[in-house]
């Protein structure tokens, strides 16, 4: 992976957000209104994967299938998720990032991983940026992020793509 | 991002307090219909987008929960009021853009019969309680769950807001960051005249 995180102002803002998240780990019940942009500006365009492309991958056979991790709301995951995916903790919460770290600890750094959320419109998602950065910083080199412009309902379920429900 | 707005207006009103004012009500209903169509087109809605939801024009699914103040929250108890039912979460930025307006509307239109109800889809109630106090929410909020989400067709992305008329019929659904000016106009048309 050839990008750096400190070369653009928007990325610097993202890093500042990460620092704030770390500080807030000490006060989990505190709430900061999220009225600014989301975290997805941390993710390079080259690391995005489109829904159609992922469906194609999942329908295939062999070793090309990724490890699919949902890094958003657990409740929304229980309502509907992509078959075979695993809930890995909310990327916007320190506890969620710890859960993600534990989940991938035993995998090779070259493991093909796809992160997704779909909680909110893409540019407002608070979870994907921190989750992607977490894996990048841990040395994972084959991580993609599923691009959903609106949310899981509109960009995946309504299109008739495969869905699994926990309840 | 354009909000995906899916909405229709009920074609036949249930009997109610406005029966003695049939003409003004019919005019208001017609005006609301035009507004809803315009809003749908303005949002760039295709035919599918504007007619996708199966809940619009149907009775709002009933539910009973306990709100954050430990009071019983029964949707059915608000029959006779116009209800703005908002699904939200503390991690949802667009939700937090909308909520101060909901507080204002509850103050402004509460005496005319508006009731805002919030359903949080957070995993952690502690964060919800924190926001409830910080934003000084003046309407009841309860925690949602998978069952309630499924009751409303699967709430798979936030925010989602339903406008429910005085007869318990869903008149509009707003997905994504909605145009607050349009929601306010539409709810005004459902409220009784001064």
ipTM of the complex: 0.73
The answer for residues whose C-beta is within 8 angstroms of residue A44's C-beta and 6 or more apart is A3
Is there a contact between A152 and B156 if contact means CB atoms under 8 Å apart?
A: yes
Query: Among A150, A156, A159, A167, which would you mutate to test the B interface (most chain B Cβ atoms within 10 Å of its Cβ)?
Result: A150
Searching chain A, which residue's CA lies closest to the CA of residue B49? A154
Searching chain B, which residue's CA lies closest to the CA of residue A152? B156
Q: Please state, rounded to an integer, the average pLDDT across all residues of chain A.
A: 83
The C-alpha atoms of residue A158 and residue B22 are separated, in whole angstroms, by 39
- Which residues, numbered 154 to 193 in chain B, qualify as contacts with chain A under a Cβ-Cβ cut-off of 8 Å? 154-159, 175-177
Query: Using CB atoms, which residue from B93, B145, B176 is nearest to A34?
Result: B93
pLDDT of A93 higher than 50:
yes
Helices of type H across chain B: 22-42, 47-51, 93-109, 125-134, 146-151, 180-190
Range of the domain at B44: 4-190
Cβ(A51)–Cβ(A133) below 8 Å: no
Cβ(A94)–Cβ(A21) below 8 Å: yes
Tally of structural domains, chain B: 1
Query: Using CB atoms, which residue from A80, A124, A154 is nearest to B4?
Result: A154
Query: Among A38, A121, A154, A156, which would you mutate to test the B interface (most chain B Cβ atoms within 10 Å of its Cβ)?
Result: A121
A50 vs B6: which has the higher pLDDT = A50
Searching chain A, which residue's CA lies closest to the CA of residue B53? A158
Searching chain A, which residue's CA lies closest to the CA of residue B146? A79
As a whole number, mean pLDDT of residues B5-14 equals 36
The CATH number assigned to the domain with range A9-157 reads 3.40.250.10
The C-alpha atoms of residue A104 and residue A113 are separated, in whole angstroms, by 9
The per-residue pLDDT for A157 is 95
Burial A113-134 (b: 16+ CB within 10 A, else e): bbbbbbbbbbebbbbbbbbbbb
pLDDT tier at A128, thresholds 50, 70, 90: very high
The answer for residues whose C-beta is within 8 angstroms of residue A121's C-beta and 6 or more apart is A38, A149, A150, A151, B1, B94, B176, B177
As a whole number, mean pLDDT of residues A32-40 equals 59
Here the CATH number for the domain that contains residue B178 is 3.40.30.10
Which residues on neighbouring strands pair with residue A70, listed in sequence order? A87, A116
pLDDT of B171 higher than 50:
yes
**What does the pLDDT look like over A14-32, one tens digit per residue?**
544 444 444 333 333 344 4
Could you tell me if B68 lies within 8 Å of chain A, comparing CB atoms? no
Find tokens 């995946």 and name the residue: A156
As a whole number, mean pLDDT of residues A56-79 equals 91
Chains A and B form CB pairs within 8 A to the count of 113
Cβ(A141)–Cβ(A110) below 8 Å: yes
**What does the pLDDT look like over B48-87, one tens digit per residue?**
334 344 799 999 999 999 999 999 999 999 999 999 999 9
Lowest-confidence pick of B8-17, B27-36, B89-98, B176-185? B8-17
The C-alpha atoms of residue A76 and residue A98 are separated, in whole angstroms, by 20
pLDDT tier at B176, thresholds 50, 70, 90: confident
pLDDT of B42 higher than 80:
no
> What DSSP character marks residue A153?
I
């Amino acid at each position: 992976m050839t990008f750096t995180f400190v070369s653009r102002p928007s990325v610097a803002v993202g890093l500042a957000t990460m620092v704030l998240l770390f500080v807030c780990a000490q006060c989990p019940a505190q709430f900061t209104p999220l009225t600014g942009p989301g975290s997805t500006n941390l993710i390079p365009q080259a690391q995005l994967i489109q829904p159609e492309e992922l469906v194609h991958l999942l329908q295939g056979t062999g070793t090309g299938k990724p490890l699919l991790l949902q890094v958003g709301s657990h409740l929304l995951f229980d309502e509907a998720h992509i078959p075979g995916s695993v809930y890995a903790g909310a990327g916007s919460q320190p506890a969620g990032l710890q859960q993600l770290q534990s989940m991938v600890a035993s995998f090779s750094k070259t493991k093909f991983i796809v992160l997704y959320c779909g909680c909110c419109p893409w540019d407002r998602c608070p979870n994907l940026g921190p989750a992607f950065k977490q894996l990048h910083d841990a040395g994972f080199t084959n991580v993609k992020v599923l691009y959903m412009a609106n949310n899981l309902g509109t960009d995946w379920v309504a299109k008739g793509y495969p869905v699994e429900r926990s309840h | 991002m354009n909000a995906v707005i899916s909405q229709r207006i009920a074609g036949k009103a249930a009997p109610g307090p406005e029966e003695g004012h049939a003409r003004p009500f019919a005019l208001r209903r017609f005006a609301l219909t035009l507004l809803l169509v315009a809003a749908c087109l303005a949002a760039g809605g295709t035919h599918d987008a504007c007619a996708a939801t199966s809940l619009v024009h149907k009775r709002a699914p009933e539910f009973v929960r306990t709100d954050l103040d430990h009071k019983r929250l029964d949707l059915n108890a608000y029959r006779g009021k116009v209800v703005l039912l908002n699904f939200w979460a503390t991690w949802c930025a667009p939700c937090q853009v909308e909520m101060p307006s909901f507080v204002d509307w509850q103050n402004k239109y509460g005496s005319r019969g508006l009731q805002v109800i919030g359903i949080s889809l957070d995993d952690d109630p502690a964060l919800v309680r924190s926001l409830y106090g910080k934003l000084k929410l003046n309407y009841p909020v309860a925690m949602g769950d998978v069952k309630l989400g499924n009751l409303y067709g699967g709430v798979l992305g936030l925010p989602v807001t339903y406008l429910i008329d005085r007869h318990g019929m869903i008149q509009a659904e707003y997905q994504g960051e909605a145009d607050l000016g349009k929601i306010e106009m539409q709810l005004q048309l459902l409220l009784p005249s001064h």
